[in-house]
Structure 1
């Protein structure tokens, strides 16, 4: 059980960041969750960050998927859900210890190679699957909160264009966050005790998803792809440098 209280300024500050994060995620398909979770430790105790972030991001992803529901690649979901069930059970119930200090190093290298190295793309595509994506993302979600960009390069190869990518990854992350919330509920996080904060974050996330979706439909495809690759690469380099400097 995590016992904490928040001020009006905390609610307003986090609501603004949650709305901005939803706009970013709805336009690019990633990045919003990492922006939000990086800001939350300033406002909340460490033990509350991942469950509160999970509520906000689940609503953000649900609303983003709803606003773009016609673009979801539904055929990818059964395998993903199956993997997510096993990943959540393994990490959530057995509390596997992971070498977290080095995890960003491997994730960053994977993203860079998958975005820029054609040989690696051809080799790794033999092993990539939605089953594996569901397993890994659900497990990482319980540990690091915002694992969305990890499999973006893979999903980009399985869908048709930016709108399918954003809509499909939104549904994927909805599933990941739903399992995460169940696990934290089982271990005792009292969501209802924080209803004013959570309600404000939910409203902000939905508003951000609506605004970001409208912005995305007005962006040029080639520009969007270039920005996506550059931001993924920047994120990967940052992960690698942070891991090496620890």
Structure 2
């Protein structure tokens, strides 16, 4: 299946990516994690790196915004505020760095990120102060960008 027509995604590839994003979103909803990573790996296998990161980011934004709206009443509002503030800082930091990485090196960075998510040590966040919540948001968002 041809995924690109010149510099644009073909209509069939767009439909395939939408279906894939729905399936991987269901995986995340059912198991708590993993769908976004699966989507990233498949997209990195099929698409040029120049579009993988922005398209994956938009798909994740839609998926996570939907999950956020459906579970809003169950959120720890204090955690949400501080995590979001840290997330904004992490997003700006990641954007400043990721946009400067050459595309060939980006493949290695994405592969390293996938391996870290699969086998890396998950930090234990024992503190619940505003600073720790903000730091968790910054680090998590930075890793996802």
Aligned equivalents of 1:24 and 1:109: distance in 2? 21
Aligned equivalents of 2:71 and 2:56: distance in 1? 22
Q: What corresponds to 1:108 in structure 2?
A: 119
Query: Equivalences for 1:114-125 in 2 at 5 Å?
Result: 125=126
**CA contact 1:23–1:32 (8 Å) conserved in 2:** yes
Query: Equivalences for 1:44-193 in 2 at 5 Å?
Result: 44-93=47-96, 100=109, 104-105=115-116, 108-111=119-122, 125-126=126-127, 129-142=132-145
Deviation at 1:126, TM superposition (A): 4.7
Describe the shift of the 1:106–1:9 C-alpha distance in structure 2 as closer, same or farther (beyond 3 A). Answer: closer
Aligned equivalents of 1:43 and 1:4: distance in 2? 14
Q: What corresponds to 1:35 in structure 2?
A: 38
Q: What corresponds to 1:225 in structure 2?
A: none
Deviation at 1:127, TM superposition (A): 8.8
Aligned equivalents of 1:134 and 1:83: distance in 2? 4
> Superposition RMSD on alpha carbons, in Å?
3.0
2:47 is paired with a residue of what secondary structure? coil
For structure 2, which runs of at least 5 residues remain unmatched after alignment? 1-5, 102-107
Describe the shift of the 1:49–1:72 C-alpha distance in structure 2 as closer, same or farther (beyond 3 A). Answer: same
In terms of mean alpha carbon deviation, does 66-75 or 53-62 score higher?
66-75
Aligned equivalents of 1:83 and 1:21: distance in 2? 26
Aligned equivalents of 1:40 and 1:34: distance in 2? 10
CA deviations over 1:52-76 (Å, ceiling 9, x no partner): 1111111111111212222122120
1:68 is paired with a residue of what secondary structure? helix
More helix by share: 1
1:110 is paired with a residue of what secondary structure? coil
| Structure having greater relative contact order (Cα 8 Å, sep ≥ 6) | 1
For structure 1, which runs of at least 5 residues remain unmatched after alignment? 115-120, 143-246
Aligned equivalents of 2:83 and 2:19: distance in 1? 32
